[in-house]
Structure 1
Amino acid sequence: MRRTVTRRLLAAVATAAVGAAIITLPTPHASAAPGTATGYATRNGGTTGGAGGQTVRATTGTAIHAALCGRASSSTPIIIQVEGTINHGNTSKVSGKSCNTAAGLIELKQISNVTIVGVGSGATFDQLGIHIREARNIVIQNVTIRNVKKSGSPTSNGGDAISMERNVRNVWVDHVTLEASGGESQGYDGLFDMKDDTQYVTLSYSILRNSGRGGLIGSGESDLSNSYVTFHHNLYENIDSRAPLLRGGTAHLYNNHYVRLNESGINSRAGAQAKVENNYFKDSRDVLGTFYTSATGYWQVSGNTFDNVTWSSPSNENRPAGPNPQS
């Protein structure tokens, strides 16, 4: 059964960013300008990261943690320019009054007003995830995060490339590449996860690829405290499912390019409200609907292109929006 989006969703997305009809793919990191936040990250006071603060350079994970710990307070603005490969071998815990870090991942915990931006020849977080927890006003730009595992060796961040959890507000992730080399059976989890009261987030001009799970909003059917997320001008390529998975909350997805969604794509469930407009879906299966649950969600669709998309038959726990998607 197809569900109709409520007027509340229409009002909520009306003030968020509006997509154009032309898809623009993400540009290479080196050419990405700092820019300003878009979408829901502009709400709730806006997302500026460390703008106006000190700029420091880091070539190791330990140096990133040291920069956070060297601030006057946990809210003192800072821009951390990162170059080179960040991995387990150069990422250790650093202690201080203005930070709460840990080894084996980049820990942005109980802090605010931080920008992490790749510069120079680029920044790659190799098998090392970024964890945002009890934090607000965070910007991450121009980096690659790859092959973060939750099982096998080495492990980091529960297998998530970027994860946000527990009272997170205003995060803008822009011009990043998030990639894995398989699914859960190969030790990987999600590329971009939000849970336990995460709100006002934008993911823009980014590439998510080669993963079993693209990402989620809500860790379970009872985790409905996450909302107001914008996904625009992103490329999802060779993703099995969760592109993304929405459990409750409101999301605006526009001008994204999806190719080879192998099992399912945008999975709106547990009362989630998704505005899905001007996206291009190619060589994919079940790109929109409610899947793997009887707890249905809602969607509003307009301007989308479906190119060689196949749809499964409806069932109690499988409610695809197609083959002729309607709001």
Structure 2
Amino acid sequence: MRRPVGLRLRAVLTTMALTATTGWILSMPTASAATGSATGYAAQNGGTTGGAGGQTVRATTGTEINEALCNRASTDTPVIIEVEGTINHGNTSDVSGDSCDVTDDLIDLKKVSNVTIVGVGRGAVFDQLGIHIRESRNIIIQNVTVRNVKKSGSPTSNGGDAISMESNVRNVWVDHTTLEASGGESEGFDGLFDMKNNTQYVTLSYSILRNSERGGLIGSSESDRSNSFITFHNNLYSNLNSRTPLLRGGTAHMFNNHYVGLVESGINSRAGARAKVENNYFEDSKDVLGTFYTDEAG
């Protein structure tokens, strides 16, 4: 794979995406309780409802998020965790419980189901603390910012990914989020939105991904083709080097997205992948759609 030629960090004065009917749309809303229903592939396979119908818990620290997961009756008891404030390493500690498997260096949704994490009030910022979803299903993440998660340097979290999913994950809806870094791999960052090892039925909607070398991947290698049924719609991708996304195998649908300042490449469909790409807008970007850095075409 070619080395990146460097990032062009710049201010972006728009948070607009595209709609199928009217062209330009709304800016990102202020934080509020989760609303609406999952769209795209996350609405299939039985749908994605998160913690609907369960207890609502307010959290202002990472420890309180862990406690909300661990205090449930079981690993699949529905819960809505309303988050306000900055969540970081300093206020996140490990918690014990039969209904969770959490840690102190990331927000770990491991072997759980029926969970909503939603930013409310003044907003929720996960600062240098990534969100990891593993062997889980029916998860909603909404109205949050995840920024500057590192895999090297200090502190480290989640392998440098803002949000990552792996190992038999089903039905995840990530909506109205901002995922951002402050550079590339040489600065210690990795991907913003990664899926691997049999992750399916995921939607990323109305979100901003910016200022990173890597937007995200679907499949960790050319042989990891078990990930599929992913929707990306009404998102803004700004000042990224590549991977918007990198798709290895599987099926994905990208529509109504706005791409600005892609340095090396954009939607990279390879290794037998199938990407339906429609009604997107590419601005000041290179190699926006195709198969790149491999002979195995998508």
- TM-score exceeds 0.5: yes
**How far does the alpha carbon of each residue in 1:261-289 deviate from its partner, in whole angstroms, 9 at most, with x for none?**
01000000000000000000000000100
Partner residue in 2 for 1:122 = 123
- Partner of 1:65, secondary structure, is helix
| 1:219 maps onto 2:220 in alignment | yes
Q: Distance in 2 between matches of 1:229 and 1:20?
A: 22
**How far does the alpha carbon of each residue in 1:160-202 deviate from its partner, in whole angstroms, 9 at most, with x for none?**
0000000000000000000000010110000000000000000
**How far does the alpha carbon of each residue in 1:111-130 deviate from its partner, in whole angstroms, 9 at most, with x for none?**
00000000000000000000
Q: For residues 103 and 49 of structure 1, do their structure 2 counterparts lie closer, same or farther at Cα, with a shift above 3 Å needed?
A: same
Q: Is the 8 A contact 2:34 2:142 kept in 1?
A: no
| Number of aligned residue pairs | 280
Q: Distance in 2 between matches of 1:273 and 1:63?
A: 41
Partner residue in 2 for 1:204 = 205
Partner residue in 2 for 1:3 = none
Q: Distance in 1 between matches of 2:43 and 2:255?
A: 16
Partner residue in 2 for 1:141 = 142
Q: For residues 249 and 63 of structure 1, do their structure 2 counterparts lie closer, same or farther at Cα, with a shift above 3 Å needed?
A: same
Runs of 4+ in structure 1 over 6 Å off: none
Partner residue in 2 for 1:132 = 133
Gaps of 5+ in 2: 1-18
Q: Is the 8 A contact 2:135 2:168 kept in 1?
A: yes
Counterpart amino acid of residue 112 in structure 2: I
Q: Distance in 1 between matches of 2:107 and 2:272?
A: 33
Q: Is the 8 A contact 1:23 1:256 kept in 2?
A: no
Q: For residues 256 and 120 of structure 1, do their structure 2 counterparts lie closer, same or farther at Cα, with a shift above 3 Å needed?
A: same
* Deviation of the 1:34 alpha carbon: 1.4
Partner residue in 1 for 2:58 = 57
Q: Distance in 2 between matches of 1:64 and 1:133?
A: 17
| 1:245 maps onto 2:246 in alignment | yes
* Deviation of the 1:33 alpha carbon: 5.8
- Partner of 1:67, secondary structure, is helix
Partner residue in 2 for 1:303 = none
Q: For residues 54 and 33 of structure 1, do their structure 2 counterparts lie closer, same or farther at Cα, with a shift above 3 Å needed?
A: closer
Q: Distance in 2 between matches of 1:168 and 1:210?
A: 27
Counterpart amino acid of residue 260 in structure 1: G
* Deviation of the 1:131 alpha carbon: 0.3
Counterpart amino acid of residue 96 in structure 2: S
Partner residue in 2 for 1:166 = 167
* Deviation of the 1:19 alpha carbon: 4.5
Q: Distance in 2 between matches of 1:26 and 1:272?
A: 32
Counterpart amino acid of residue 105 in structure 1: L
Partner residue in 1 for 2:10 = none
Q: Distance in 1 between matches of 2:170 and 2:42?
A: 9
Partner residue in 2 for 1:11 = none
Partner residue in 2 for 1:193 = 194
| Aligned residues with identical type, % of pairs | 77
* Deviation of the 1:103 alpha carbon: 1.2
Counterpart amino acid of residue 157 in structure 1: N
Q: Is the 8 A contact 2:60 2:87 kept in 1?
A: yes
Partner residue in 1 for 2:4 = none
| 1:155 maps onto 2:165 in alignment | no
Q: For residues 33 and 109 of structure 1, do their structure 2 counterparts lie closer, same or farther at Cα, with a shift above 3 Å needed?
A: closer
Q: Distance in 2 between matches of 1:199 and 1:288?
A: 22
Counterpart amino acid of residue 60 in structure 1: T
Q: Distance in 1 between matches of 2:181 and 2:21?
A: 30
Counterpart amino acid of residue 194 in structure 2: D
Q: Distance in 2 between matches of 1:234 and 1:80?
A: 24
Q: Distance in 2 between matches of 1:242 and 1:99?
A: 32
Mapping of 1:1-327 within 5 angstroms?
A: 19-20=20-21, 22-24=23-25, 26-30=27-31, 34-297=35-298
Return the TM-score normalized by structure 2: 0.92
Q: Which has the larger radius of gyration?
A: 1
Counterpart amino acid of residue 38 in structure 1: T
Q: Distance in 1 between matches of 2:24 and 2:253?
A: 15
Q: Is the 8 A contact 1:112 1:138 kept in 2?
A: yes
Counterpart amino acid of residue 178 in structure 1: L
Q: Distance in 1 between matches of 2:30 and 2:235?
A: 13
